């Protein structure tokens, strides 16, 4: 399967009938019930089956990943599931396939998993989350990715900043400020990575934030490995931190208390948190710009076209420059 459909509106032909026919063809008898779920990069639907169950079908954005990269994502999810880690992995069809194609679209079918976003309001819940993150990374360290990309300041930082500077979005009066602050930030990011030394990079979730975790009475269930990459362990930890510096230190201490029960953690990576935050800020804005012609994006991010957004974005980046110089969060 090539899956190549370079198109500004790649999902224009993905009608409900196409979705239902695709899932039927993958071996699931749908009953016509279909609900579009919140997703921007891909298109995701909940579908009812004739036997009363529900499944979730994810239609991958055309031309974003190669088949091999998607299959490596699936293999990682199934490997984690095989170690009894609560990751929502794709269903394996009778022919052994997890990746299917219909009408030019590539898709996978998953079991439906209920739950709520985790609040992690107690030390016990944070330690619980940390234990599962440690288990994921213990498995992630067993073998490398060969098709997924590695976290780097090049594609998350330099390439993303270049996208914005070459676009029509950045107001002209902010261009010099944006160029200057991203240059400063990326210099600081690379200095921190160099000072931290050769971190142990492993297979990680890559986009592990509360929106990609469903919490039940049995604890967390991890979903959406679409952005799984090779990277430092701390990338899967810092997005669960919020609040003041003291609050983040307490949260991180609890996460690492659980994490350490299953996987060693290099505490030197804590110096990378603000560097990783800086890269995410730069990359996220470029991601919206690159996807703007997809109708879902103007609907979801209407403020992206306003001068106020860009002024606040440049200001936030400027505030990150001194943040890079702050000492690492204390967890002892």
Give the per-residue pLDDT at 7: 60
3-state secondary structure of 234: helix
Please give the pLDDT value at position 149. 95
- At residue 197, the pLDDT reads 74
The question of whether 21 is a catalytic residue gets the answer: no
pTM here is 0.94
The low-confidence residues of the chain, meaning pLDDT below 70, are: 1-8, 198-199
Q: Quickly list H helices, the chain.
A: 16-25, 67-82, 123-140, 153, 159-165, 175-196, 245-259, 273-290, 296-300, 307-323
For residue 299, report the phi and psi dihedrals to the nearest 5 degrees: -70, -40
Look up tokens 């069809």; give the residue: 93
Q: Domains in the chain, please, with CATH? A: 16-111 (3.30.200.70), 123-323 (1.10.510.10)
Q: What is the pLDDT of residue 199?
A: 65
Q: Which of 17, 67, 207, 217 is catalytic?
A: 207
Neighbours of 105 (CB within 10 A): 22
> How much is the pLDDT for 5?
39
pLDDT of residue 8: 66
Which residue is catalytic, options 17, 24, 31, 224? 224
224 flagged as catalytic: yes
């Amino acid at each position: 399967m090539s899956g190549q459909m370079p198109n500004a509106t790649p999902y224009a032909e993905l009608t409900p009938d196409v979705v239902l026919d695709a899932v039927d063809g993958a071996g699931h008898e749908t009953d016509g019930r279909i609900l579009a779920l919140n997703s921007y990069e891909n298109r995701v639907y909940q579908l009812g089956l004739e036997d009363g169950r529900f499944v979730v079908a994810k239609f991958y954005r055309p031309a974003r990943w190669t088949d091999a990269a998607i299959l490596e994502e699936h293999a990682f999810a199934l490997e984690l599931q095989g170690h009894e880690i609560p990751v929502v992995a794709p269903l394996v069809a009778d022919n052994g396939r997890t990746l299917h194609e219909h009408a030019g679209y590539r898709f996978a079918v998953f079991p439906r998993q209920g739950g709520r976003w985790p609040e992690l309001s107690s030390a016990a819940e944070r330690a619980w989350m940390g234990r599962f993150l440690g288990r994921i990374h213990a498995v992630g360290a067993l073998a490398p990715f060969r098709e997924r990309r590695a976290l780097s300041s090049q594609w998350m930082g330099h390439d993303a900043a270049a996208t914005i500077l070459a676009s029509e979005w950045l107001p002209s009066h902010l261009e010099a400020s944006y160029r200057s602050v991203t240059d400063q930030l990326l210099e600081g990011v690379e200095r921190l990575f160099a000072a931290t030394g050769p971190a142990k990079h492993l297979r990680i979730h890559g986009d592990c934030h509360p929106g990609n975790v469903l919490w039940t009475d049995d604890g967390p269930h991890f979903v959406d490995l679409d952005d799984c990459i090779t990277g430092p362990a701390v990338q899967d930890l810092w997005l669960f931190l919020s609040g003041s510096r003291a609050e983040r230190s307490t949260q991180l201490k609890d996460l690492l208390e659980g994490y350490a029960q299953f996987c060693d953690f290099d505490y030197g990576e804590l110096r990378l948190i603000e560097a990783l935050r800086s890269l995410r800020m730069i990359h996220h804005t470029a991601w919206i710009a690159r996807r703007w012609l997809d109708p879902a994006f103007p609907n979801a991010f209407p403020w992206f076209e306003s001068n106020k957004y860009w002024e606040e974005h440049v200001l936030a980046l400027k505030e990150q420059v001194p943040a890079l110089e702050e000492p690492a969060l204390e967890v002892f």
